[in-house]
Amino acid sequence: MPQFAANLTMLFNEHPFLDRFEAAAQAGFKAVEFLFPYDFKAEDIKARLDAHGLKLVLHNLPAGNWAAGERGIACHPARIAEFREGVLTALEYAAVLGTPQMNALAGIKPADVTDETARATLLGNLKFAADKLAERGIKLLMEPINTFDIPGFFVNRTPQALAIVNDVHSMGSRNLFLQYDVYHAQRMEGELGATLKHALPFIGHIQLADNPARNEPGTGEINYRYLFGLLDRLGYRGHIGCEYKPQDAGPGGTVAGLGWVAAHGCTL
């Protein structure tokens, strides 16, 4: 049976961030993830995790100026030093939070940078991050993101991401895995079941949302009952991050929408 983690960036948004941990625990979640912890003290986040008996399964490396629309800088050749400083910052947080894996966002390719230069920059940055995280026993992940939601995002399809993983492995860094977001994959390529079967040895984490509105499972076209059963049969033992927008965006909307869990034969 799948293990679900509440994505506290997307869910329980009627609460301030640090109060979402309690809300997630009260709703029945035993694990959480979020995009970024860096606006808060690591000790404050750790206190909320401990107080509510929650396991942290994932957060991202620093990704540039998110509020200004940046979505990662790992493919930006002019910002290699900033990316690598961000890796060290992330490791400081991980030392407090016990983060087991972190996601590196490739980012939107700058208009004046060729694909070849962007890819070479990304490979170098991922090798650096993979090596640094490996020293602490932390997995590095990389996530393809659809270009309908984020036009120009450099890594946007599973085969492209797997080729990058293979190249980093061939550079001597085996500590890079795929973060497979079912919603992004459906938007870009479909073939979810076949892709999961093929890519599972390289997948470190899975996230979900339904398509087209990025709401709860069961609100769109993706057959999540089949996918959950498939992942069980394939032996996936990691968490699945609930990175969706509640269909009811008002106060209490996250809890009101959790009926999808039982409807798909699952529990939190």
Active site residues: 143, 243
Give which of 184, 228, 234 is closest to 209, Cα–Cα.
184
CA distance 210 to 186: 9
Structure tokens at 241: 């991050």
Q: Tokens for 209, please give them.
A: 């949302």
Alpha helices by DSSP H, the chain? 20-27, 42-51, 80-97, 115-135, 158-170, 182-188, 192-199, 224-234, 253-256, 259-263
Residue 18 tokens read as 């640090």
What CA–CA distance (Å, rounded) separates 42 from 52? 16
Element (H, E) at 6: strand 3-7
Contacts of 219 (CB under 8 A, 6+ apart): 210, 213, 247, 260
The Cα–Cα gap between 208 and 264 comes to: 13
Query: What's the start-to-end Cα distance of the chain, in Å?
Result: 10
> Is the sign of the CA dihedral 67, 68, 74, 75 positive or negative?
positive
